[in-house]
Amino acid sequence: MKRFYPPRTLLAWLVAIGSLGMLVMLPILFEGSYWQTLAFITFLFVSLSVSWNITGGYAGQVSFGHSTFLGLGAFATAIITLRTGLPAPFTIPIAGFLAMVYGFLWGYPTLRLRGPYFSIATIGVGEATRLLMTNLDDSLRNIPILKELVKYKPLTGGASGLTLRIPPDIQSYALKFYYGALLFMLGVLAISWWIRRSRFGLALFAINMDPDAAETLGVSTSRYNVLALMVSAFLVGVVGSLYAQYFFFIDPREMFSFQNSIAMVLMPIIGGIGTLWGPVLGAVVFKVVEDRLLTTHLEWGPISINFVQFNLLLYGLLLVLIILFEPGGVLGLLRRMKGSRLLRRAFAPARQKG
């Protein structure tokens, strides 16, 4: 391609390269671990948001059960590392794979349901998985043969969770994971970008817009829906694994929580569902708002207010506003404000390379 890049495209590239450069430099510029950890967790949440968007945004199957993949990935890594001594990074593909298999297992039957019925089924799957994993050790102890599994070491740890071995040099360990998560996030974005332009993406968008019409034109809706969920599950499983390795402690009640599933639904919706960059934007807004509210503490004379949990109220309000006034999310709002060709090109809902 010999075409001269229009200045706007150039600007977009500069912004992209600039922000990437800043992210690479961040751990060096801010020596303290707070910003680094915030950035790390934001990378993970961007990855979650973008991964969820493959099923929820592209194929239009709104899943409230994605915490099952997150938890499974985290526990796969923790359990394998604790029981076999395999170095944790080697368990990443296994974590993703197990999440993917689980995605197939519950996606295959539930994806036959349409729209809200699928979503309701996923809530059930999510809650059932959470309860099962939280009580797994206790349940196994009562089964004659299987109790050997939990005789010496816990499986999910129940209410007390699992703790991984903390490495001696925590600084360089965290730094490695910072860059690892950054790379993984870029990888997830690349996958999401590739799907949009691929034959696979065309099928997903067609299913999203009209499953019956897609089916008449030869698209096997059940097959592509399940495939999309499996890709999404794999990526979310890897995030779970990275989370466990970075924080060393995981609790089934938290990893499999409904709140995590909700977060994965909220982030893309806030940012702009079904788009490439919307879920990224949504995740950043989500994490930053949460962090600011968690750490803000207002003192006003004798009154002292802190905003822990206030973020949930704010997200609820945001969600209502978005659904009522701007289904395109923050991105849609930006696009409407600017009317810019660049934004429209970059974020068009379902455009495919022709």
The number of helices, as runs of H, and strands, as runs of E, in the chain is 16, 4
Binding region for another protein (CB under 8 A) out of 43-51, 95-103, 206-214, 306-314: 206-214
* Residue 205: CB minimum distance to another protein, A: 7
Q: Does 327 bind another protein (CB under 8 A)?
A: no
* Residue 287: CB minimum distance to another protein, A: 29
| Amino acid of residue 17 | I
Q: Does 346 bind another protein (CB under 8 A)?
A: no
Identify the residue whose tokens are 């194929």. 59
What is the pairing mode between strands 303-306 and 249-250? unpaired
Q: Does 217 bind another protein (CB under 8 A)?
A: yes
End-to-end CA distance of the chain: 16
**Which one of residues 32, 144, 168, 354 is an interface residue with another protein (CB under 8 A)?**
354
Binding region for another protein (CB under 8 A) out of 98-106, 181-189, 296-304, 343-351: 343-351
* Residue 220: CB minimum distance to another protein, A: 5
Rounded Cα distance between 331 and 344, Å, is 10
Considering only residues 142-201, where is the footprint of another protein by CB under 8 A?
Answer: 199
Q: Does 204 bind another protein (CB under 8 A)?
A: no
In this structure, which long-range contacts are made by residues 136-140, counting pairs with CB atoms below 8 Å and at least 24 apart in sequence?
Answer: 136/252
**Which one of residues 164, 215, 249, 307 is an interface residue with another protein (CB under 8 A)?**
215
* Residue 163: CB minimum distance to another protein, A: 48
Nearer to another protein among residue 32 and residue 218 (C-beta): 218
Binding region for another protein (CB under 8 A) out of 24-32, 214-222, 278-286, 294-302: 214-222
Q: Does 339 bind another protein (CB under 8 A)?
A: no
Which residues would be at the binding site for another protein (CB under 8 A)? 199, 202-203, 205-206, 209-210, 212-221, 349-352, 354
